[in-house]
Amino acid sequence: MGLFSFLLGGASNTEPLADVQAKVRQGQAVLVDCREHDEWGDGHLREAHMLSLSKLRSNPALANQLPKDKPVYLHWRAGGRAMLAARLLKKLGYDARPLRQSFETLARSGFTRAA
């Protein structure tokens, strides 16, 4: 078991990015960017909602903006904060699935960068 899986208690997202992208675009899932506001301002994915890990930690009620009846895919610049955010959301009853891929990888794989 890798460190990523260990930190999540063995649960990590293994779905192909094309499947994740299709679910997000069809409204069957939500993509959440866990980076901070200044990082979001430097560039983000059009399909993503912003919910920084720091704000989620300080105010877990912010999670209420996310649906509990759909998978919530989380990303960050490189994956670390997505793991931590997923742990918090799982404790709150969400189907949180951190993505191992970085923001740049997601953008190159077909998610759309916001203008």
Domain boundaries, the chain: 3-108
Question: What's this model's pTM, rounded to 2 decimal places?
Answer: 0.86
Q: Find, among 55, 50, 43, 49, the residue nearest to 30 by Cα.
A: 49
> Domain 3-108 class?
alpha beta
Angle at 81 between CA 77 and CA 86, to 5 degrees: 125
Average pLDDT over residues 39-56: 92
Q: How many CB atoms neighbour CB 16 within 10 A?
A: 9
Could you tell me which residues are beta bridge partners of residue 97? 73
pLDDT in the model for residue 79: 59
Does 2 have pLDDT greater than 70? Answer: no
Q: What was the pLDDT predicted at 51?
A: 94
